[in-house]
Amino acid sequence: MTLNVTTTLSAKAGIVTIAGDIDGSTAPQAQEQILALAEPSARLVLDMSGVSFMSSAGLRMLLVTYRTVSAKGGRAVLVGLSEDLSDTMSQTGFLDFFAHYDTVDAALASLDQP
């Protein structure tokens, strides 16, 4: 399966919509597009509602995203994690790094919170 990554800029954040499988062959593409938005104090919403599978390469991509955005004083939040992805990220400790929400609107609203 191919990976589609689209970015939209709103007044509050960069919204990255990811659809497809994130694995060793597609994670670099996603990372490149996400990190292009990682300017100082950036607010990013990663909409993963279209992601059905994520390998360890996807987890690594999320960790790099978290570290890069945080180092620049920004914040990245996740949206639409499937039950499988949520379980995997919880068991591996990745949900400790990211706030996660059911909808993009809820994620955008959270960015107003300290």
Domain chopping of the chain, boundaries: 4-80
14 sits in which H/E element? strand 14-22
Please tell me the predicted confidence (pLDDT) of residue 112. 78
Distance separating alpha carbons of residues 82 and 84, to the nearest angstrom: 5
- Dihedral Cα 37, 80, 18, 104, nearest 10 deg: -50
**Overall CATH class of domain 4-80:** alpha beta
Ramachandran quadrant class, 58 (left: phi over 0; alpha: psi -120 to 50; beta: rest): alpha
Can you tell me the mean pLDDT for 37-55?
95
Considering the entire predicted model, what is its pTM? 0.93
Please tell me the predicted confidence (pLDDT) of residue 3. 93
